[in-house]
């Protein structure tokens, strides 16, 4: 029974009588708590497996005899803010068959820990759950009272096993692709600076998108993306109905080649960004031609540069007054206002609540931009018409966009900062996939149940 003392809760076993409350608190099926001792830095819990009947030799099947115990020290999940160490009193047996290679063997139970492990099974899953929610390996190892190498060497094989499961690519109907920079060293030191990320943007039954990172591959090119698609196989490729991307021709070529039946969608953010850049280019050109120099704080156009990047519906009365005064300051400033008006038309097509009406507005914009007398606007029209099908795809696919991919990039950046950067790409990839939700449907709801 459970005897409380000044130093510990000592569960003394008498005739296979254990403390049920302590067993429940420990929570590993098939194991009993013998005693628990609280020290200055950690709690040590002594456990043993349930009593078993006759044990046969795993090699020859001959009845084996008890050969005492050996203690296996394990790091367990912290409890009440204190590190926990589990001392597993393993049963040993001896095979009496002279020719049997087994000799002496020890009990195994992966419910508690794998053979020769330094951490319990559940603390590995606990650490994986914590890492997926913005914890760092260094912070977790301090809480557990073990080394960084001990913790990561236990977690990494489990993540690798999850990564090798092909089922995690099932059910992808909307695929997003984008690149990001994973290091700023010279390429010959750590490989390519940029990596290509693939994200599952498939919507649920309620129509909500829960972005899930699928993979990261070194390099940024159509060949890199195309090779990744090829490796996924025909079943995956046939399931992808929509592919979203930013205006990068390499990714577009890979989609046309490997996902010919999918609808390509140009990301709305990047289209609007092109509009903003067009207005800014016109402003800088007019500024230079009217003043002979770059803008300064006393120049009318320079003073409204941020207003020109805003939506018309967001401007206050004071901002409208400042904008009108800046345009009226010089007759050439009218070009800036005209470019800004085109930019507003571009935005309004996306803002239209009716997708069919927005589609008509978008088509009108594509026809209108090339007719402008402003060279920067004509260049914008030429660019959008080259991406005409992808631009209009936003309105025919119920507003599909690359927003979820950008959100995943933000998660990756956060976890990279938490880890203080990465040197090894494989470690970086596994951590990013975990943080990006690649394994979220494969993680146990309760770590100790795995």
CA distance 438 to 189: 28
Kindly indicate the confidence band of residue 445, based on its pLDDT and cuts at 50, 70 and 90: low
pLDDT tens track for 141-181? 999 999 999 999 999 999 999 999 999 999 999 999 999 99
Query: pLDDT digits over 250-300, tens only?
Result: 999 999 999 999 999 999 999 999 999 999 999 999 999 999 888 888 899
pLDDT of residue 24: 87
**pLDDT of the residue at 400:** 95
Instruction: Round to whole Å and give the CA distance between 232 and 243.
Output: 15
| Chain segment 39-83, per-residue pLDDT in tens | 988 999 999 988 776 788 888 888 888 888 999 999 999 988 899
Rounded CA-CA distance 300/103 in Å is: 91
Over residues 302-314, the pLDDT tens digits come to: 999 999 999 999 9
pTM: 0.87
Question: pLDDT-derived band of residue 10, with 50, 70 and 90 as boundaries?
Answer: very low
pLDDT for position 450: 45
Give tens-digit pLDDT for 320-359.
999 999 999 999 999 999 999 999 999 999 999 999 999 9
Percent of the chain with pLDDT over 70: 95
> According to the 3-state scheme, what is the secondary structure of the chain?
CEEECCCEEEECCCCCCCCHHHHHHHCCCCEEEEEEEECCCEEEEEEEECCCCCEECCCCCCEEEEEEEEEEEEEEEEECCEEEEEEEEEEEEEECCCCCCCCEEECCECCCECCCCCECHHHHHHHHHHHHCCCCHHHHHHHHCCCHHHHHHHHHHHHHHHHCCHHHHCCCCEEEEEEEECCCCCHHHHCCCEEEEEEECCECCCCCECCEEEEEEECCCHHHHHHHHHHHCHHHHHHCCEEEECCCHHHHHHHHHHCCCCEEEECHHHHHHHHHHHHHHHHHHHHHHHHCCCCCCCCHHHHCCCHHHCCHHHCCHHHHHHHHHHHHCCHHHHHHHHHHHHHHHHHHHHHCCCHHHHHHHHHHHHHHHHHCCCHHHHHHHHHHHHCHHHHHHHHHCCCCCCHHHHHHHHHHHHHHHHCCCCCCHHHHHHHHHHHCCCCCCCCCCCHHHC
- The residue with greater pLDDT, 8 or 114, is 114
Q: Is the pLDDT of residue 413 over 80?
A: yes
Confidence category of residue 4, pLDDT binned at 50, 70, 90? very low
Strand partners, 181: 194
Average pLDDT, the chain: 91
Give the tens place of pLDDT for each residue, 122-142. Answer: 999 999 999 999 899 999 999
Q: How far apart are CA 354 and CA 343, in angstroms?
A: 19
Instruction: Choose between 96 and 89: higher pLDDT.
Output: 89
pLDDT for res 2: 47
Say what the pLDDT of residue 294 is.
87
pLDDT: is 446 or 209 the higher one? 209
Residue 371 has pLDDT above 80, yes or no: yes
């Amino acid at each position: 029974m459970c005897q409380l003392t000044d130093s510990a809760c000592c569960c003394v076993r008498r005739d296979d009588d254990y403390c049920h409350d302590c067993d429940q608190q420990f929570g590993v099926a098939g194991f009993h708590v013998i005693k628990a001792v609280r020290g200055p830095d950690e709690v040590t819990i002594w456990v043993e497996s349930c009593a078993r009947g006759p044990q046969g030799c795993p090699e020859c099947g001959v009845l084996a005899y008890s050969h005492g115990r050996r203690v296996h020290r394990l790091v367990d999940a912290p409890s009440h803010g204190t590190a926990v160490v589990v001392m597993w009193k393993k049963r040993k047996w001896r095979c009496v068959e002279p020719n049997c290679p087994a000799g002496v063997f020890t009990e195994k139970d992966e419910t508690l820990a794998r053979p020769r492990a330094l951490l319990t099974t559940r603390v590995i899953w606990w650490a994986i759950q914590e890492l997926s929610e913005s914890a760092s390996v260094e912070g977790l190892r301090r809480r557990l009272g073990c080394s960084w190498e001990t913790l990561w060497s236990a977690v990494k094989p489990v993540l690798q096993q999850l990564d090798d499961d092909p089922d995690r690519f099932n059910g992808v109907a909307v695929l997003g692709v984008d690149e990001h920079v994973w290091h700023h060293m010279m390429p010959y030191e750590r490989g390519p600076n940029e990596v290509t990320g693939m994200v599952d943007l498939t919507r649920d039954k309620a129509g909500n998108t829960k972005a899930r990172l699928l993979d990261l591959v070194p390099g940024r090119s159509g060949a890199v993306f195309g090779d990744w698609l090829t490796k996924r196989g025909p079943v995956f490729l046939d399931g992808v109905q929509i592919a979203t991307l930013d205006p990068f021709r390499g990714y577009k070529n890979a989609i046309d080649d490997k996902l010919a039946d999918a609808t390509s969608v140009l990301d709305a953010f990047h289209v609007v960004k092109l509009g903003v850049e067009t207005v800014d280019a016109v402003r800088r050109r007019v500024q230079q031609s009217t003043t002979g120099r770059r803008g300064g704080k006393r120049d009318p156009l320079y003073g409204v540069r941020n207003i020109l990047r805003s939506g018309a519906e967001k401007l206050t009365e004071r901002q409208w007054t400042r904008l009108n005064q800046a345009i009226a300051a010089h007759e050439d400033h009218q070009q800036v206002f005209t470019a800004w008006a085109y930019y507003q038309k571009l935005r309004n097509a996306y803002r239209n609540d009716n997708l069919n009406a927005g589609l008509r507005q978008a088509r009108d914009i594509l026809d209108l931009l090339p007719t402008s007398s402003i060279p920067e606007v004509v260049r914008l029209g030429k660019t959008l018409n080259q991406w005409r099908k992808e631009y209009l795809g936003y309105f025919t696919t119920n507003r599909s966009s690359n927003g979820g991919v950008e959100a995943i990039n933000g998660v990756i950046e956060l976890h990279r900062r938490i880890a203080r950067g990465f040197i090894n790409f494989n470690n970086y990839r596994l951590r990013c996939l975990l943080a990006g939700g690649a394994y979220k449907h494969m993680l146990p709801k309760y770590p100790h149940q795995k």
